[in-house]
A and B are shown apart, each in its own frame.
Chain A
Amino acid sequence: MRMQALAIAMVIVSGVAIFIMSLSTYDSLKETRDSYYRVHQFSDVFANLTRAPMSLAQRIEAIPGVAKVETRVVTYVNLDVPGFKDPVSGHMISLPRHQERQMNRLFLTQGRLVDPSRDNEIVISVEFAKAHQLELGDKIWAIINGRRQALTIVGKGMSPEYIYQIAPGAMFPDYQRYGVMWVARKPLASAYDMEGAFNNVTLKLNRNIEPKAIIEQLDNLLKPYGGTGAIDRHDQLSHRFLDEELKQLQNMATMFPIIFFAVAAFLLNVVVSRLISLQREQIAILKAFGYSNLAVGVHYSKLILMIVVMGIFIGTFLGIWMGTSMSELYSQFYSFPYLVYELKPWVLVSAGVVSIGVALVGTLYAVRKAIKLPPAEGMRPDQVAIYRPTVVERWGLQTLFSQPTRMILRHLERRPLKSLLTSLGISMAFGIMMVGGFQEGAINHMIDVQYKLSQREDMMVFFVEPSAEDALYSLKSLEGVQHTEGIRMVNARLRHEHRSYRTGVQGIEPDSELRQLLDANLSPIHIPKDGVVITDYLAQKLHLKLNDLMTIEVLDGKRPVLQVPVAGIVKEYVGLNAYMHRDTLNHLLKEGNVISGALLTVDEDAQQSLYAKLKNMPKVVGVVEQSAAIDGFNETMEETILFFTFISTLLGGSIAFGVVYNSMRIALSERHRELASLRVLGFRRSEVAFILLGEMALLTFIAIPLGFLIGYGLCAYLAFNFDSDLYRIPLVLGIDVYAFSALVVIVSSLISGSLIWRNLAHLDMVAVLKAKE
């Protein structure tokens, strides 16, 4: 009984642990974020524009509901970091004269803010500093409006705007190649002709003000100044990623504990039922001695509670450990000045209440049976089990089976529900293992599709402003460049009926090799001459079908509003995009044959020298190289994946072990008489073990397809829940995911089997001959 109680407790431990882990991590992340936002005055609304005079700020401040306005100069620059050859780009954000008045206040971990009167001081993000091992007093060089300028690091800091630091359009953080930095406003403004002007504005709203109406008025004000559409927090990139993460944690906090508690309830039910039927005589005697029904009920409830409380106790510690480990992992992905591990009392209380409640409900029936048992009946032996030939045997197949096999089949068929639930319990272990293994494969598939099939360039170059197609020739003439394609990009709001989404429209070359659009089967399709091709998820979001007319409100240049039919829908896992034939887009924009940037494939050997040349081209504002970012991401993910594999193996293994071990122990207890009799008749231990282990093997065998189905279902549910405009997790389950989950379940079963094998050595043959059934 001790081992059995332990095995059940382990399942409860897992349920409690994952419940506490996910909710405490959720709370920690959310509380940390909220307090960080509050103390550092994270803005409510954000907007970019081309250039507006400072006087406009007062008009923005006059919008009812706006509490504070802060204007800034924000630019995207190329950087030169000593000792680092790859292209580095960064966001350079102006700091106001008086830090106190500012929104999105910096948290300085080292050094000081810049001196407003000096043009060569810079504060850099902690992550960027760490990635390049930059210290206070070190210098980096920035290409500011075509001029190479040395900047001295005077501080390292963090901002609530960049908790998740990711380059625009990128999918993963890459702290070596993208950084955020803050400089004095005056020199930045003078370099970009922004004196007395701004190109970025953030707002703080009064309490309980809906940002939607404000955004509309703000957009109207900014329109003449090249406003590209204001967004609220929900569309702010860093905030969005954190939100998705929180959503995942919430999902985890519900889905997994439900599985564990259901399995624990089932196990408690079978074990307590068996215990009560073994002890029916003792129960009857106690009752005959005058113990009340209540006393008997309380006795068994105490036993159940002991197991559950042990589970809750260990589960809480494990959960706290897992929660802190997970929070630490998060602090690698997210930039928080501090991460307060938050374990709310209600989480603990509900873990306890739910575990105890589920356990009591699960065993209610069995305990009720004990309570109801009349003493006289209890002293009579249990009814003889009635068996019959199984269905397969009635088909005339019985000659195929040896007697032990018939015993297995008939035993299973006599209690079909219990057999099914046992299989279902084991299959839950598969399910949990598969969910654990699913993410890695899905993310790899996502990266493969996005960066091997779809975006096939080695490098992407952005120009300061749309340039004539000739720019391509000068790129092509650079040593090491193999192939170039021009690309036209505009910011736009896409509309259909009352729904809209802000993204970019990309004009690509008709026979583009470097930008391949993929259909649902991931085969490339050609960009049609007319119409627009959109991401499948965007089509869903805007309720667009093929040939529907979509409105494109261009947010750049002359800001035309276009009506374009949907000519194609493509599969994409990252971002929501719209693509058009470049000539068609340019024609509609009426800006001549221009490009915003270029896609390049380059000779690997010439890469380094090419970076250097590109950096010094005044026209070029940014260079993005994806493969390095992917490598960096994989490195960071490795630890996370290892942690999750560890956790899911622990959890899946505990379920498999709990179910298999308990089922076998109960089978052993139920059949110990016949097994011992067979030993007396000269059956070897292995032959007797076959009957027990064979039954379990059969149930596990049934659990395999069932488990794969459940695992697939759980993964599909997760993937569906993670769908967002940022990314869609593809439902791709590699053979390795199936294989690994099967391996863990089989190993857990083998461990239980070996424990049972040892029990079989102690079958008491002598006792069984003397004992009545």
Chain B
Amino acid sequence: MPTAANPSPVFQVNQITKTYQMGEVAVHALRGVSLELFQGELSVLLGASGSGKSTLLNILGGLDTPTQGQVLYQGKELSLDLSLATETELTDYRRFHVGFVFQFYNLIPSLTAAENVAVVTEIAKAPMTPSEALELVGLENRLNHFPAQLSGGEQQRVAIARAIAKNPDVLLCDEPTGALDSKTGIKVLEALAKINQELGTTTSIITHNAGIASMADRVIKLIDGQIVDIQQNDSRIQAQDLSW
């Protein structure tokens, strides 16, 4: 039952498994994961490399489908069973509802910062302008720079601007600070927290860095493809106060 303290779940994950065939070996990336993520929540999926956290995020983001189990998405305008959706449905789901931030930014090298954001706003339904998005991450003065002319932290903030510019329902971040030093990483996390608070975007960050966990509403720990612990933080620590 959704209440003010416990809002409705955006994702309902029921007993999903994911098995990859790697040559002759079957890899069990997820072994029966169940989870709910709630509207406006900032969650951190914590786990070591190989724990299945990226696989889970990919399934939530509609990049992959589970081998077994069900993933229900309940957004403002769309309800979708991600485990049964077609390729076209998944593409549209990513296109209109999900914002992604990647470890290695994945910016288009031939486009400027503003254009990298415009790539997404051009195909979105009710986007902000590229300069608005870049202003939100503090890059209003770097609009016409190409990725090669930006630092790693700046590039990641462009990626965040690109992810939020479409006003997505969920923001999924895969090791957003993984390629950055801690000082730059904190700036990036500040931007993510700000978006989550100001826009109320449901945000999920995966990381192997336990130091980040205290900025989240909830911390979900994965080991060997299973959730071993879900911890509710009573209060979130400001990103600038984090350290690792």
Residues of A within 8 A of B (CB): 384-389, 402-404, 406-407, 410-411, 414, 673-674, 677-685, 687, 765-766, 768-773
Contact at A386–B91, with CB atoms within 8 Å? no
Cβ proximity bits B71-105 to A, threshold 8 Å, 1 near / 0 not: 00000000000000000100111111010101110
Determine whether the beta carbon of B94 is less than 8 Å from that of A681: yes
Query: Given contacts A770-B54, A771-B104, is CB(A682)–CB(B95) below 8 Å?
Result: yes
Q: Please give, as numbers and ranges, the residues of chain B lying within 8 Å of A772 by CB-CB distance.
A: 104, 179
Is A681 in contact with B119, judged by CB distance below 8 angstroms?
Answer: yes
* Residues of the B chain whose Cβ atoms lie less than 8 Å from the Cβ of A685: 91
Determine how close the nearest CB of chain A comes to the CB of B160; give it in whole angstroms: 13
> Sorted from nearest, which 7 A-B pairs have the closest CB atoms?
A682-B95, A682-B94, A677-B106, A410-B110, A387-B110, A403-B119, A384-B148
B229 at the binding interface (Cβ < 8 Å): no
Chain B residues with a Cβ under 8 A of chain A: 54, 58, 61, 63-64, 88, 91-96, 98, 100, 102-104, 106, 108-112, 115, 118-120, 122-123, 146-148, 162, 174, 179
- Which residues does chain B contribute within 8 Å of A770, judged by CB atoms? 54, 103
Which B residues are in CB contact (< 8 Å) with A766?
58, 63-64
Measured in the bound complex, the distance between the Cα atoms of B115 and A389 in whole Å is 11
Contact partners of A385 in chain B: CB under 8 A: 109-110, 148
| Complex contacts, A677 vs chain B, CB 8 Å | 102, 106, 108
Supposing A411-B110, A769-B103 touch, asked if A683 and B146 sit within 8 A by C-beta, the answer is: no
Verify A684–B91 contact, CB threshold 8 A.
yes
Q: A682-B98, A683-B95, A769-B174 are in contact. Are A673 and B106 (CB under 8 A)?
A: yes
Nearest-neighbour CB distance to chain A for B85, whole angstroms, equals 13
Q: In the docked arrangement, what's the CA distance between A123 and B25, Å?
A: 84
Q: Give every chain B residue within 8 A of A771 (Cβ-Cβ).
A: 104
What are the residues of chain A within 8 A of B88 when measuring CB–CB? 684
Chain A residues near B174: list those with CB within 8 A.
769
Do residues A683 and B102 form an inter-chain contact, with CB atoms below 8 A? no
Q: Are A678 and B119 in contact (CB under 8 A)?
A: yes
In the complex formed, the residue of A with least CB distance to B147 is A384
B123 touching A407, Cβ below 8 Å: no
B115 touches A387 (CB 8 A): no
- Least Cβ–Cβ distance between B169 and chain A, in angstroms: 13
Q: Using Cβ atoms and an 8 Å threshold, which residues of chain A touch B103? A: 769-770
**Given pairs A407-B110, A769-B54, 4 additional interface contacts (CB within 8 A):** A387-B109, A410-B111, A414-B110, A771-B104
9 A-B residue pairs with CB within 8 Å: A385-B109, A385-B110, A387-B109, A403-B115, A414-B110, A680-B61, A680-B94, A684-B88, A768-B106
Question: Which residues does chain A contribute within 8 Å of B148, judged by CB atoms?
Answer: 384-387
Least distance between A636 CB and chain B CB atoms (Å): 57
Q: Could you tell me if B54 and A681 are in contact, using CB atoms closer than 8 angstroms?
A: no
- B71 → chain A, closest Cβ, in Å? 16
Pick from B109, B119, B162: contact of A384, CB below 8 A.
B109
CB neighbours of B109 from chain A (8 A): 384-385, 387, 674
Question: Once bound together, how far apart are the Cα atoms of A766 and B18, in whole Å?
Answer: 14
Q: How far is the CB of B81 from chain A (nearest CB, A)?
A: 19
* A679 proximity list for chain B (CB < 8 A): 91
Report A218 CB to chain B, min CB distance, Å: 79
Say whether B91 contacts A387, CB under 8 Å. Answer: no
Closest chain B CB from A396 CB (angstroms): 14
Chain B residue nearest to A687 (CB atoms) is B123
Bound Cα distance from A385 to B107, whole angstroms = 12
Contact partner, B100, options A386, A387, A410, A681, Cβ 8 Å = A681
* A384 to B162 CA separation, bound complex (whole angstroms): 21
Pair A674/B146 contact, Cβ less than 8 Å: no
Residues of chain B lying within 8 A (CB to CB) of residue A388: 146
Kindly provide the distance from the CB of A618 to the nearest chain B CB, expressed in whole angstroms.
88
A765 to B64, CA, bound (A): 9
Q: Which residue of A lies closest to B117 (CB)?
A: A403
Contact partners of A404 in chain B: CB under 8 A = 119
